Structure 1
Amino acid sequence: MKIRQSSYPFKNPDDFDYSRTLFHRLRTWLDSRRVSARLESRAETVSLSPLSPATFRPLTSNDVPLLFLAHNDLKFMRSLLAHYRALGVTRFICVDDQSDDGTRELLCGEPDVDVWTSPARYGEARRGKLWREALFARYGKNRWYLNIDADEYLIYDRCFEKPLPDLIARLETLGLRRFAAPMIDMYPGGSVSAFTFDGSTDAMPWDVADCIDGNGYVLEKTKRFLSLAGGPRRRKFAAEAEMMKYPLMYWDDDCSFGISIHQPLPFNRNFSAISGVLLHFKFFADYHEKTRAAVEDKQYFGGAREYQRILDTVEASGDLDFVYDGTLKYASPQQLVERGFMRSIWADGQHVGS
């Protein structure tokens, strides 16, 4: 049952009521207990081996770790590492899913990156959930982790002035254990096939794909999490991809990714105000090739049916151009605060977390 629905982005930060009644909090708690018990009864494991370095390196109490998955993502590696190092990440933990484009070799040459491999593929590892949980357990619980994919770049208000240790301290002051940040799909300002991003320079992906949908999203407060739909994939392909994520999490014994990485357990931690955004990049000149590879690989949800829908549309039309009258050219994190995509975590106000 839906509790509340609203258009997104918000015209002002108070347009959406994140608070919940005692009844709704109790219902969430009971559902969380039920799902956790079911998952414990059929616990799964997956094999992981360290590739670089060859021996395990524990984290220190001062480390800010980031875990991500990669599969033929070489074009993102240079910018991804630079972006998150600027935000204060001290250790990168990567599961390389059998890349053959140079991703693995590049990462193995970086001293602050731990590279892991698995005989299982992404789909066999429950779309990577088992890898993530196994590595959180290996590196240690009761600490904060960033948890992303290779094409996601977290931003938040004043993120280049107040890096991740400041953000974590702020979340702890507010009594929050998760940081809500939806994926917002970026696209170029014209025919996608004309815009190349290959990661060979210091350019960031938003220097090439610098546009987003400025309206047309729907945010719903459900029993388990905040659910967000919309954006160019929905507008162009009728894709119903879930966009909400919690990329910064305090991981302890109560946590798991349960049914989906978009609604982690325990559910009651999933209701803090949206205070960040994951800039998400899928559409460059190589989109046709990458989409076809995803369809053939069949590692994604539902046998990669969303990618099949995109591929069918592209092959029917011959090209993609996402620009419409609501297109917004991305300028800065502050712009997205002003446009209602996120509220400032530093401002006084509603930062509900349970």
Structure 2
Amino acid sequence: MGLFKSLKGKVDVGTDNPSHDQYTSPSDPPPSHRRREKEEYTNPTGPPPSHRNQNKHDDGFAPPPGPPPTHHRQDDDFLPPPGPPPKNDNPPPYHDWTVIPDTSLLPPPPALPQDYSPTNNASYDSAERAHEWCARNPVYTPSPPSHEIHLLANAGHITLESPPGPLKKSISTFRQTSPTTWLIATSKHQPDAIFLSSIPMYFACVDSPLLTERPKTIYFEIHVRRIQNDTSGIAIGYAAKPYPPWRLPGWHRASIGVHGDDGRRFVNDPWGGQEFVSAFRENESVGVGMKFEVEEVGGARGKVKTSAFVTREGRSDERWSWDIDEERDERVEGVDGLMGEGDLYPAIGVFGAVEFEVKFGDSVSWRGR
């Protein structure tokens, strides 16, 4: 408030003597206040210059006569040529979207990797421990079998090995019922565990098509007798040794598996697998096989091509097969050990209460070999 009083006082003092020509003291008003009364600073007469330029009849600013140039495009230079348009033998550039294609003629869409199974999932801790275990225990180097061992494997005279330590406490039945069959049963407390054969069914050193110049197929099957509930299941496939004994086939390096609780297939995939077949049923026979053959590249012998397939009740279907090296999600661990360069063993995974029979050789119901 003191500041405004001071300024007001200065204006009052300055108006007592408006005729001073020079600014002599702080109490006088600034020079701009005095100059407003001088003649040379009075407002000019008439409107500002900009108003005078708005005369639309001024010849210097009048628009050119006639319509704008764009109205003259009806001249002959812009008319279409006479007659119909030239004939075009090319097809239309776009597909007629009003025509609905017959989708039954299209191939089925590729299976997509999943993060989780809709039924049962192992823990992240179990998977992490298995990865560390695999890093400490590399896959065995293939070695040639004796002639007798090779003959036994081809005939299906194969011995199964039970999982070690605490993993076998809930196994109620584990016995060989014939040279080519085994009976296995577990209780509801059975954790994830895997049964592996003692010898391979595929010996890379003697069975590779690059050596024999003929395809090689391996196969075995199970007959499901009992699956107690939704938290029980069986998985079948193949794996290289050594393999983490508390993990199911298909979850880690050099292994494939088809899991009966959700019907999904796994190829070195510790995640949720890919949708494949329906879940296994009681009193059903389910088999899994692998075929190794030479893939020609440019008319010359190239690499081994590997495919896998599943049978139901001894029947095969092209929908139940796939190429092992097909494009998959980048998070899986690759196909090393599965392309004919490594030994592969039959593998059966279990959890919960199940009962089933394992069949090799002539005891299987599939006769496609």
**TM surpasses 0.5:** no
Q: Indicate the structure with greater strand content.
A: 2
TM-score after normalising by structure 1:
0.25
Q: Which has the bigger relative contact order, CA under 8 A and spacing at least 6?
A: 1
Q: Indicate the structure with greater helix content.
A: 1
TM-score after normalising by structure 2:
0.24
**Greater radius of gyration (CA):** 2
